[in-house]
């Protein structure tokens, strides 16, 4: 591998370490092997990181803190259409994972071995992302745009949809990261959105809901009338 450029040395050390941690496990990879993977001396690696724990902490913080920030920014757009807000949340979370898939896999595999600082950062970020997804879903339900669902269970499910590609995605594969993120975002929205004719809007939401309820009751009554009578 070519020697690293000075400006990007720290990032390339993290990338090399992530690949080795996936290949050999956190305990099986050494600082010497990280240096060799980059074609630099151990001194160059130690200049940025004192040990593997510091490298692992940096890997965790790079992904988790960005996930927390991006999801918080998306839900802060309170005037946005609920469907588009959820689409943005899912799309950007998937893209973050696909652009850091090795780092994400390392976090998943070493979660119970993380240094205290990294463990706390990871737990705080996961909680924030879950809360932001949940809030976006609850807002869509309240607006009458999403079906009535358990928002927290749905949030866990959608985050899982975003996360799983880290374990099968290949940059040279048939689908690009953007195409995968587009597909997952569309699936996420369609899994919760109400049919257009049943979405409630504006100040007339209550009367619209009553009208839909009457329509459902009328349909149910018709089905009962047409049902075969018991002999």
SS3 146: strand
Q: What is the pLDDT of residue 191?
A: 95
The closest alpha carbon to 136, from 83, 190, 213, belongs to 83
Average pLDDT of span 130-144 = 94
Q: Inform me whether the pLDDT recorded for 5 exceeds 80.
A: no
pLDDT value of residue 3: 45
- For 171-181, how does the pLDDT look when each residue is reduced to its tens digit (9 = 90+)? 998 999 999 99
φ, ψ dihedrals at 101, nearest 5°: -65, -35
Residues of the chain above pLDDT 90, percent: 44
Condensed to tens digits (0 to 9), the pLDDT of residues 53-98 reads 999 898 888 888 899 999 999 888 878 899 999 999 999 999 999 9
Q: Inform me whether the pLDDT recorded for 138 exceeds 90.
A: yes
Which residues contact residue 196 at a Cβ distance below 8 angstroms, ignoring those fewer than 6 apart?
none
**Confidence label for 200 from pLDDT (cuts 50, 70 and 90):** low
Ranges 86-90, 152-156, 225-229: which has the least confidence: 225-229
Q: Which of residues 231 and 228 earns the better pLDDT score?
A: 228
What pLDDT, on the 0 to 100 scale, is given for residue 230?
Answer: 60
pLDDT at 149: 92
What pLDDT is recorded for position 111? 83
Q: How far is CA 46 from the centre of its chain?
A: 32
Lowest mean pLDDT segment, chosen from 118-122, 141-145, 214-218: 214-218
> Does 2 have pLDDT greater than 70?
no
Cα 112 to Cα 185: distance, rounded to the nearest angstrom: 30
Q: How many CB atoms lie within 10 A of CB 3?
A: 11
Decide: 26 and 113 in contact? Cβ < 8 Å. Answer: yes
* Mean predicted lDDT score pLDDT of the chain: 85
Mean pLDDT of 161-178: 93
């Amino acid at each position: 591998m070519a020697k690293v450029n000075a400006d990007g040395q720290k990032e390339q050390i993290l990338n090399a370490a992530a690949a080795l941690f996936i290949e050999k496990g956190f305990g099986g990879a050494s600082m010497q092997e990280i240096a060799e993977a980059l074609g630099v001396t151990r001194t160059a690696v130690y200049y940025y990181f004192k040990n593997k724990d510091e490298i692992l902490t940096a890997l965790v913080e790079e992904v988790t803190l960005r996930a927390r920030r991006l999801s918080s920014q998306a839900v802060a757009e309170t005037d946005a259409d609920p469907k588009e807000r959820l689409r943005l949340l899912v799309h950007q979370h998937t893209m973050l994972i696909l652009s850091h898939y090795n780092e994400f896999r390392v976090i998943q595999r070493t979660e119970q071995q993380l240094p205290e600082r990294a463990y706390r950062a990871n737990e705080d970020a996961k909680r924030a992302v879950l809360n932001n997804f949940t809030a976006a879903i609850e807002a869509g339900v309240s607006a009458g745009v999403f079906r009535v669902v358990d928002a927290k269970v749905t949030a866990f499910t959608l985050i899982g949809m975003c996360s799983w590609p880290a374990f099968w995605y290949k940059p040279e594969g048939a689908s690009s990261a953007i195409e995968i993120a587009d597909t997952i975002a569309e699936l996420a929205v369609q899994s919760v959105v109400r049919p257009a004719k049943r979405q409630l809007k504006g100040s007339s939401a209550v009367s619209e809901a009553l009208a839909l309820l009457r329509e459902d009751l009328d349909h149910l009554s018709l089905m009962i009338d047409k049902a075969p009578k018991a002999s």
